[in-house]
Structure 1
């Protein structure tokens, strides 16, 4: 059984910690609703409430990727708020994580974090940020570079803007067209996010189908 921590962690910011402290903290009942990140000797536990903007735009991003992959016959597997651990080194819990391609192996569907050493990092990680937007662009981008994802998107919830990065050799550069989902433009994702402000899901999905078909 994991030990209880002796201190209350300052949440929604990066604090110095060991991997063991991170794991123990994530097992504590007081943080069970939190999302955990660990990298380079620091951890961040996000406890800020997630509003309608975050929830709505999260679902829209998932719909866009899922429909695009379906129409382009691209094999994917989507994971929402799932933890990925490279044991002893780093951990993350992106809003959306997606494996893409012919060769990935589906992890077992249990409550354990996905072991990156066994299944590899997700191909695409997506974070949606309101109060966390600058951190998503900064420290979390470095985390995902080190983890080895191929592509990282940050959705600015307030502006319905997508800032996307291709990652290779531990470095990232901004892109306007996805490389892991060839042909998917950030303009299309942003238009879907904008439409979601006034359109219901059925109307939005019909538009996506017409656009992608």
Structure 2
């Protein structure tokens, strides 16, 4: 008996490939691809294998710390989701590094392991992609994907340059931000400063620095 080839040999990763929704779901639900992240938009899918480097994971952690701490100090209701899938059934799907529901009257997604159904629930307010090797795609096709999903604000973290490209997303246009709008008055350059500090300082020191900065405003 001849064994079937591994599923990864049947489709390239880290690029957009034409596919219908049913084909996409076949890959998204395949148990051999549990370490993958899945995107679908306008008849194309993209599978990314999860990065394992410390730069990506450190920046991911610092962004999470900054956002949650700022919201806590400013008394802004917030719910963070890491590597969650957001699905508009039959149309599009994304699995960002981090997503945040922000603001009053939060409705938490159901506590299960199913993709979050955007046919029934609102999309998150803020989505963050940590771009260790996917910067071009994160700032082009994914930016359009999140715009179509109804995300209000989108950050792309350029790991190599320690920079953040922040967008305000509207239905027909997007604009670059110097301050967050979903986290009012949070300067994007302060978030970048925290990323820079994380290269030489421990998380406790960065948190204490952030507390000083946020409490002073």
TM-score of the two chains, using structure 2 as the length reference: 0.93
2:96 matched to 1:94? yes
The one of 184, 192, 206 aligned to 2:194: 192
Alpha-carbon distance change, 194 to 6 in structure 1, aligned in 2, over 3 angstroms:
closer
User: Mapping of 1:176-187 within 5 angstroms?
Assistant: 176-187=178-189
Alpha-carbon distance change, 100 to 6 in structure 1, aligned in 2, over 3 angstroms:
closer
1:14 maps to: 16
Aligned-partner Cα distance in 2 for 1:210–1:104: 28
SS in structure 2 of the partner of residue 118 of structure 1: coil
2:55 maps to: 53
Residue 45 (structure 1) shift: 0.3
Aligned-pair Cα RMSD in Å: 1.5
After TM superposition, the structure 1 stretch with the greater mean CA deviation from structure 2, 80-89 or 170-179, is: 170-179
Contact 1:176 1:185 in 2 (8 A): yes
Q: Matched residue pairs, number?
A: 210
Gap runs ≥5 in structure 1: none
What is the CA deviation profile of residues 69-125 of structure 1, one whole-angstrom value per residue up to 9, with x for unaligned ones? 011110010000000001001000000000011123101111001111222111100
SS in structure 1 of the partner of residue 191 of structure 2: helix
User: Mapping of 1:156-167 within 5 angstroms?
Assistant: 156-167=158-169
What is the CA deviation profile of residues 163-208 of structure 1, one whole-angstrom value per residue up to 9, with x for unaligned ones? 0000112421111100110000111100000000001111111111
Aligned-partner Cα distance in 2 for 1:7–1:160: 34
2:39 maps to: 37
Residue 48 (structure 1) shift: 5.3
Aligned-partner Cα distance in 2 for 1:5–1:165: 36
